[in-house]
Amino acid sequence: MSDMRIRSVLIVGGGTAGWMTAAALSQVLQNDYCAIRVVESEEIGSVGVGEATIPMISVFNRLLGLDENDFVRQTQGTFKLGIQFVDWAALGRTYLHPFGPFGTDIKGVSFHAWWLKLRSLGEPADLDDYSLPAVAARNGRFMRPVQAGNTPLATLSYAFHFDAALYARYLRNYAEKRGVVRTEGKVVDVQLDGESGFIKSVQLASGERIEADLFIDCSGFRGLLIEQALKSGYENWTHWLPCDRAVAVPSENVGEPVPYTRSTARSAGWQWRIPLQHRTGNGYVYSSNHLSDDEAAQTVLANLDGRPLAEPRVLKFVTGRRKRFWINNCLAIGLAAGFMEPLESTSIHLIQSGIARLLSLFPDRHFEPADIEEYNRACTFEWERIRDFLILHYHATTRDDSPFWNECRTMSIPESLQQRMELFRSRGRIFRQDTELFTETSWFAVFVGQGVVPRGYDPVCDALSAEESRRRVLQVRSVIANCAGAMPRHMDFIRQHCAAALRSGN
Ligand code: FAD
């Protein structure tokens, strides 16, 4: 049998997606398996605002074999224990979506069920008090998990905030050391094989033509290969997630960076705050049907902790996904594959899972249709479940103070989400579906945080008396408070392990 292995991979685009893909392929395939090349255009530039992650990124870091302290240091990174949502359910109401579980199962029944029982008994209970990451985040504390007996300190899970430009540079160094070749240049044309529809080559403005066996489109929103050349088609989700713009502006730090992302709901969307060691990232994600760019910029500038460090930059997007993520010998990763707003910091994760899925279905030059179909099926499933989770934040609100929130609250939602909400409203039950990203904990945090109240609690919880249920649940709260109190301050942890070198202007 002739060797049908992929001999060359061309990655078009060198933003976060391009360099994450290049780094992972160079690590797994090594350069003697196939040649890996990245084409990027400094003139076009990259989006560069993706700076908050979720805990799955540690899987990616392990795949690359990164030294985590070095990675945090080089990217001016901080640690992240969850996302704080301010004014989402109602003005004045705040909750945290933590990374890691609430309490522990009692008699084999999830802690969520016991907490709901206690609440129905009238116990004033702030759900955040039952999550170590939530309490630690609130108190500005951080440490990595430790095996400290059967305590929540062993289950701590965390992610990172980092400077997107430094992250791309860091991964570029990593990939280039492993043989990836970078070409500065602008792709101006794509040559297709007339019969098969496969991509044969791309042409640069310099006149150079680059051929490859496998093309990976990391060209950002424009989808240079997957859309412009291969006409994948786009499924538009703006009717469910109506924000279509963001205005981003970095600011000076005021005080020590906190170990969580903050998302504050505003009249026509929401504002993010991402604390880094050397600055804070901010932006307002909004619906252009409800707010002008100028109003959005003024709002974000009026709500910064510190002085702005640059002019506000407007980014436009259309929420949705490519109908096909992989066509023939080309697949799209990153913004070229589609976009969902950064409300739950899922885009970098979707890059990572796209890469992982590509590696598990890595083709040879036969490009088996069944493999491609499975890739597209699995991506579609993952994207749609995340989409539902995001919609929940907008839809399950009592806010009625602006046309934007009135529309979100009253819109029709996907049936898949409708079913989930009905199940939760019944007895507070949640089941993670198949390989979906968000766990029962995440859904529970947002259901409760957004004020969705079940009609009753799980009847199995009546296996324990009200008094015994209360005792067991409250015990969890006190263990968590003790553990959080024993954790170092977030910034002390960074100073000790991974502080970035001071730069002028810091
Ligand atoms: P880009 O950054 O756009 O890179 C595209 C690359 O393609 C560039 O190198 C460009 O030069 C190159 N290119 C394009 N056309 C050509 C051409 N003709 N020839 C050669 N090269 C070309 N994600 C998160 O996970 N967390 C967040 O907190 C988060 N926040 C976000 C906030 C906003 C407002 C937005 C819009 C996105 C956010 N994201 C976030 C998403 C995240 O920024 C992206 O997933 C990530 O940056 C990947 O982008 P990319 O590499 O696909 O595209």
List the residue whose alpha carbon is closest to atom 33 of ligand 1.
49
- pLDDT over threshold 70, residue 2: no
Return residue ranges of the chain for CATH 3.50.50.60.
8-51+163-234+320-367
Residues 286, 243 contacting (CB under 8 angstroms): yes
Q: How confident is the model at residue 363 (pLDDT cuts 50, 70, 90)?
A: very high
Pocket flag, ligand 1, residue 312 (CB < 6 Å) = no
List the residue whose alpha carbon is closest to atom 44 of ligand 1.
50
How far apart are alpha carbons 86 and 97 in whole angstroms?
11
Q: What is the pLDDT of residues 415-445, one digit of tens each?
A: 999 999 999 999 999 999 999 999 999 999 9
- pLDDT over threshold 90, residue 149: no
Secondary structure letter of residue 463 according to DSSP: G
Cα Rg of the chain, angstroms? 23
Report ipTM for this prediction.
Answer: 0.99
pLDDT of residue 262: 98
List the residue whose alpha carbon is closest to atom 45 of ligand 1.
347
Angle formed at CA 363 by CA 357 and CA 368, multiple of 5 degrees: 105
- pLDDT over threshold 60, residue 288: yes
Mean pLDDT (the chain) is 96
- pLDDT over threshold 50, residue 1: no
Q: Tell me the CA–centroid distance for residue 442 and ligand 1, in Å.
A: 26
Q: Tell me the CA–centroid distance for residue 369 and ligand 1, in Å.
A: 28
Angle between helix 440-449 and helix 111-120 axes, rounded to 10 deg? 20
Secondary structure letter of residue 386 according to DSSP: H
- pLDDT over threshold 60, residue 504: no
pLDDT of residue 502: 65
How far apart are alpha carbons 301 and 304 in whole angstroms?
6
Residue to mutate (ligand 1; options 210, 343, 347, 437; most atoms within 8 A of CB): 347
pLDDT above 70 covers what percent of the chain? Answer: 98
List the residue whose alpha carbon is closest to atom 37 of ligand 1.
50
- Does the annotation count 80 as an active-site position? yes
- pLDDT over threshold 70, residue 225: yes
Q: For 8-51+163-234+320-367, give the CATH class.
A: alpha beta
- pLDDT over threshold 60, residue 505: no
pLDDT of residue 147: 83
- pLDDT over threshold 80, residue 483: yes
One-letter amino acid of 114: W
Query: H or E stretch including 285?
Result: strand 280-286
pLDDT of residue 503: 56
- Does the pTM surpass 0.90? The reply is yes
- pLDDT over threshold 70, residue 305: yes
- pLDDT over threshold 80, residue 248: yes
How far apart are alpha carbons 197 and 329 in whole angstroms?
9
User: What is the distance, to the nearest Å, from the Cα of residue 431 to the centroid of all Cα atoms in its chain?
Assistant: 21
Q: What is the pLDDT of residues 188-206, one digit of tens each?
A: 999 999 999 999 999 999 9
Beta strands in 149-279 (DSSP E): 159-161, 181-184, 187-192, 199-204, 209-211, 214-217, 234-236, 245-251, 261-266, 269-275
Residue to mutate (ligand 1; options 10, 38, 39, 40; most atoms within 8 A of CB): 40
Cβ-based neighbour number of residue 70 at 10 Å: 11
How far apart are alpha carbons 255 and 277 in whole angstroms?
11
